[in-house]
Structure 1
Amino acid sequence: MASRANTIARAEAYFDQGSFQEDLARLVAIETESQNPDQSPELYRYLTEEMKPLLEGMGFTTSLFDNTDDRGGPLLFAERIEDPSFETILTYGHGDVIRAQTEQWREGLHPFRLVEEGERLYGRGTADNKCQHLINLKALSCLLEERGSLGFNVKVIIETSEETGSVGLSECFRAHSDKLKADVLIASDGPRLQPDWPTMFMGSRGGVNFDLNVNLRDGANHSGNWGGLLADPAMILSHAIASICDVKGQIQIEEWRPDSLTPKIREALKDLPIGDGGPEISANWGEEGLSAPERAFGWNSFAVLAMKSGVPEAPVNAISGHASAHCQLRYVVGTDSDDILPALRRHLDKHGFSMVEIVPADRVFFQATRLDPDHPWVDFVRDSLTETSGKNPHVLPNLAGSLPNDSFTDILGLPTIWVPHSYGGCSQHAPNEHILKSVSRDALRLMAGLFWDISERR
């Protein structure tokens, strides 16, 4: 007789017998760098040679969509409708990865070859996001094998442009909103707070990237002949940036300080662990009076991602004519996203930095989203994960990073539940990206149990 325990046992066997690593190795080997236009054929190959056969083998019908935005890659839509009266789950993944950075990986590793070393599986896309949607689709497959049916309807979107801001995704959702109707999004991305403990989150911080430029003159001028006479663009830019945050990293622009860290959200974030498996958290950095989880999940953060004046690789005794910095604001619900850059303009002008130019980044970025931690779907998923793991999951109102969650909430009107299958030390977006085998096996168990529980909801 079909059972929850047997469904989970099938997921365990899929991992223990080596099939999970075999499948993941094939996915990692496809060089789906969406930031590299030359790899566009690989984006199509990922969908047509791997995702399409996998889903059709599970009884899904599939449709491939070309992106309506020239900057974006293709999307795959799949559905298995067992009964129109059943609940419909929408799930999502992205097959694209960031640039390989091949030369920066340590000896013995390669971004497009799955390498096993002890507890770790290395390769580009292991943490972000090939492994994560593979786990969810295979957990569905285990349920199908056990029951012969799902007992609910499933729709799947696999995109290939997430690492370039999910360009074209919102347009696709608007054009096909009827086709994408569902009751809830259940998907996976991002890290757990602790490797051995399940995490769930219901939204993400938004993000805005922009350049700050100071262009004072053409070319550079001898620092001995002109030092003390010519304004230094690097100094001006440094002071402008320093006016945005104080010496402790506290945001000084009032419009960038959110109003949404309510007692309810603070209670949800209370006592959550943070930073496990990652770098040591800096002491006395960030908004004063907030805990580390409140700073990461309940507040905004400003960062300078890159900065340049002159030629750092080969400096000369000359005052540069220009300086630039690529910056980012990660922001939570409660921040007026339309006023982020106008507020920055007003702030810089007020402090005497009218010569600093603000240039919005070309790439699309995501809006901030958050689902009420008391939503019924949150309770349901939490209870399921608890039953399988024996642990109360860490529940976050939103991820600290950014995802295209706004397309699901704002366009499709869905409650969104994310169950991440990676961990904080996975080197996501960096050389030596990897996952932990223990987390992957545990995630297969959790998702198999969750899908079984959804099948029993009627």
Structure 2
Amino acid sequence: MQRNDCLSAAAAYFDDGRFLADLRRRIAFRTESDTGAATPALGAYLREEMSVPLTQLGFTCEVIDNPVPGGGPFLIARRIEGAEFPTVLTYGHGDVVSGQDAQWREGLTPWVLTTEGERWYGRGTADNKGQHTINLGALAQVLQVRNGELGYNVTLLLEMGEEAASPGLHEVCRQQADKLRADLLMACDGPRASARRPTLFLGSRGAVNFSLRLRARPRGYHSGNWGGVLANPATVLSHAVATLVDAKGRILVEALRPRDIPASVHEALSTIEIGGDADDPALDAGWGEPGLGPAERLMAWNTIEVLALGAGSPQRPVNAIPGEAVAHCQLRFVLGTPWRELASIVRAHLDAHGFEQVEVQVTLEGAATRLDVGNPWVNWAQRSIEASTGQRPDVLPNLAGSLPNDVFADLLGLPTLWVPHSYPACAQHAPNEHLLAPLAREGLQIMAGLYWDLGDAAANAPWQAGSLATTTSHRKAA
């Protein structure tokens, strides 16, 4: 059997309807994780839907309870061909954000996979059920073509709380470090840079969500009777926010600005195009950090976004000065940002600008990661993807969004390769989420090619070229 046979088998898995059938079953599980409680569907997805096909592929499956109360369970599945063989770790999440059922357009529901031409609608089609179904479907085809022998081991970590900020993930990975020991992470999540070309990304920006709140008084007061003598918290807070980020989206807090963009990152992003697909929004000229191109502003720089503003009653305004105001903000940041110090940095900045009365509270945080573009695994993956698709993939030093990649890069000490099968306009986290069928079919062939090449000595995979010792020697102690 040859590599092309493997790609053909992956395409056949899509063309004959097996991929559609697998994904349809998985979409039907209402695995919302952002409800504040671990629903029975989260465990059922792992035990009833995922463990059976994985066992048939030779995996030993173990469902692990979350050490964090209210968090969803985890699945660790291991397929060991030999203790002397290298191991690839893969990851996915079976949980989804809330269905938002009433907001889907007529004829669609989040829990029934509906196909309309190239668009396959359903909650989780893009994030992440469709993507890990592609990943595991491709692996199954490689195993079949290779007569059940890969020449390496595979471990799968599937979590059920990624959409709720991955509660318990770090703890479980520390506790199960021996079972998760590997030489490479290769996973699928997030969107491509564009639907037009394959993408390989090597990490992600981090994120810190924080709230600014000004409590002026217990209640509102009539604006005619008191306007001009009572400070308006909404007005004050809007000026406080304006000291953090200017009217063009440029960060004004020096400590939260990146020091520079590494030359390797600049070079990698120099050919990346942002937007331009049919459903993409038009980019706003002059927005963001001046002097940078769109790809650098999106993936190599930091941004502060105001996610929501609240004061008074926006739905039904009354003639009153509100008693308090709140701004829910977010810092997206690249490697090297002192993100753990955000609260003290913002506190000092506001104090220096005369806004001592504004409260600062961090509500959510996650680290940034970035694998060196020069790592030998990067070139290996580029060549494999190009061999499967005929296109040189876009290589992003890090995704613009955020993933729990620090668990794999920092805690487990792995080089991290992410191959997304979605695209920016997929309506991820929104009504009418969908997967593009051509991207799914191509994704199956991409992943089949990668899994094939990992076991093919002729493909000169980095662990066969001698870099395995280099990789493992830098692994951090769990």
Length-normalised TM-score, structure 1: 0.98
2:205/2:299 contact within 8 Å kept:
yes
Q: Verify: 1:67 aligned to 2:69, yes or no.
A: no
Aligned partner of 2:83: which letter? P
Cα 1:128–1:209 shift into 2, 3 Å: same
Q: Verify: 1:177 aligned to 2:177, yes or no.
A: yes
Q: Give the drift of 1:264.
A: 2.0
Instruction: Quote the Cα distance in structure 1 between the aligned partners of 2:85 and 2:393.
Output: 27
The count of residues paired between Structure 1 and Structure 2 equals 455
Q: Give the drift of 1:259.
A: 1.8
1:7/1:142 contact within 8 Å kept:
yes
Q: Give the drift of 1:209.
A: 0.4
- Residue in 1 that maps onto 2:379: 379
Instruction: Quote the Cα distance in structure 2 between the aligned partners of 1:326 and 1:346.
Output: 18
Q: Give the drift of 1:371.
A: 0.4
1:332-370 deviation per Cα after TM superposition (whole angstroms, max 9, x unaligned) = 002012222211111100001111101111x4x320000
Cα 1:120–1:69 shift into 2, 3 Å: same
1:155-205 deviation per Cα after TM superposition (whole angstroms, max 9, x unaligned) = 000000101111100001111111111000000111111213110001000
Q: How does 1:48-67 map to 2 (within 5 A)?
A: 48-67=47-66
Q: Give the drift of 1:260.
A: 4.3
Q: Give the drift of 1:38.
A: 5.3
Instruction: Quote the Cα distance in structure 2 between the aligned partners of 1:60 and 1:13.
Output: 23
Aligned partner of 1:7: which letter? C
Instruction: Quote the Cα distance in structure 1 between the aligned partners of 2:68 and 2:270.
Output: 42
Q: Give the drift of 1:39.
A: 5.6
Q: Secondary structure at the match of 2:203?
A: coil
Aligned partner of 1:6: which letter? D
2:38/2:72 contact within 8 Å kept:
no
- Residue in 1 that maps onto 2:3: 4
Q: Verify: 1:250 aligned to 2:245, yes or no.
A: no
Instruction: Quote the Cα distance in structure 2 between the aligned partners of 1:174 and 1:381.
Output: 28
* Structure 1 stretches of at least 4 aligned residues deviating more than 4 Å after TM superposition: none
Equivalent residue for 1:346, pick from 345, 348, 369:
348
1:35-73 deviation per Cα after TM superposition (whole angstroms, max 9, x unaligned) = 114561010011011111121010100111000011420
- Residue in 1 that maps onto 2:417: 417
1:214/1:356 contact within 8 Å kept:
yes
Equivalent residue for 1:311, pick from 313, 332, 349:
313
- Residue in 2 that maps onto 1:96: 95
1:374-414 deviation per Cα after TM superposition (whole angstroms, max 9, x unaligned) = 10111111110011111111001000000000000111000
Instruction: Quote the Cα distance in structure 1 between the aligned partners of 2:310 and 2:102.
Output: 23
Q: Secondary structure at the match of 1:387?
A: helix
Q: Secondary structure at the match of 1:280?
A: coil
Q: How does 1:134-153 map to 2 (within 5 A)?
A: 134-148=133-147, 149-153=149-153
1:276/1:424 contact within 8 Å kept:
no
Instruction: Quote the Cα distance in structure 2 between the aligned partners of 1:398 and 1:226.
Output: 51
2:205/2:398 contact within 8 Å kept:
yes
Instruction: Quote the Cα distance in structure 2 between the aligned partners of 1:254 and 1:393.
Output: 35
2:31/2:42 contact within 8 Å kept:
yes
Q: Secondary structure at the match of 2:369?
A: coil
Instruction: Quote the Cα distance in structure 2 between the aligned partners of 1:154 and 1:329.
Output: 35
Q: Give the drift of 1:207.
A: 0.3
- Residue in 1 that maps onto 2:328: 326
Equivalent residue for 2:287, pick from 281, 285, 288:
285
Instruction: Quote the Cα distance in structure 2 between the aligned partners of 1:32 and 1:181.
Output: 28
2:388/2:449 contact within 8 Å kept:
yes
Aligned partner of 2:412: which letter? L
Aligned partner of 1:378: which letter? V
Q: Give the drift of 1:85.
A: 1.7
- Residue in 1 that maps onto 2:121: 122
Instruction: Quote the Cα distance in structure 2 between the aligned partners of 1:448 and 1:276.
Output: 29
1:269/1:293 contact within 8 Å kept:
yes
Q: Secondary structure at the match of 1:295?
A: helix
Q: Give the drift of 1:231.
A: 0.4
Q: Secondary structure at the match of 1:267?
A: helix
Aligned partner of 2:28: which letter? A
Instruction: Quote the Cα distance in structure 1 between the aligned partners of 2:36 and 2:207.
Output: 23
Q: Secondary structure at the match of 1:422?
A: coil
1:420-448 deviation per Cα after TM superposition (whole angstroms, max 9, x unaligned) = 00001101111110010000000001110
CA RMSD between the two structures:
1.0
Q: Secondary structure at the match of 2:134?
A: helix
| Ranges in structure 1 where 5+ consecutive residues have no aligned partner | none
- Residue in 2 that maps onto 1:265: 265
Instruction: Quote the Cα distance in structure 1 between the aligned partners of 2:107 and 2:244.
Output: 43
- Residue in 2 that maps onto 1:31: 30
Q: Secondary structure at the match of 1:302?
A: strand
1:302/1:330 contact within 8 Å kept:
yes
Instruction: Quote the Cα distance in structure 2 between the aligned partners of 1:245 and 1:206.
Output: 18
1:109-152 deviation per Cα after TM superposition (whole angstroms, max 9, x unaligned) = 11111111111000110110000011011111001111112221
Q: Secondary structure at the match of 2:225?
A: helix
Q: Verify: 1:105 aligned to 2:78, yes or no.
A: no
Instruction: Quote the Cα distance in structure 2 between the aligned partners of 1:178 and 1:259.
Output: 37
1:32/1:39 contact within 8 Å kept:
no
1:79-122 deviation per Cα after TM superposition (whole angstroms, max 9, x unaligned) = 00101122210000000101111111111111111111111000
Length-normalised TM-score, structure 2: 0.94
Q: How does 1:182-201 map to 2 (within 5 A)?
A: 182-201=182-201
- Residue in 1 that maps onto 2:460: none
Instruction: Quote the Cα distance in structure 2 between the aligned partners of 1:38 and 1:202.
Output: 32
2:103/2:431 contact within 8 Å kept:
yes
Cα 1:342–1:310 shift into 2, 3 Å: same
Q: Give the drift of 1:329.
A: 0.3
- Residue in 2 that maps onto 1:14: 13
Greater shift, 33-42 or 94-103, is seen at 33-42
Q: Secondary structure at the match of 2:39?
A: helix
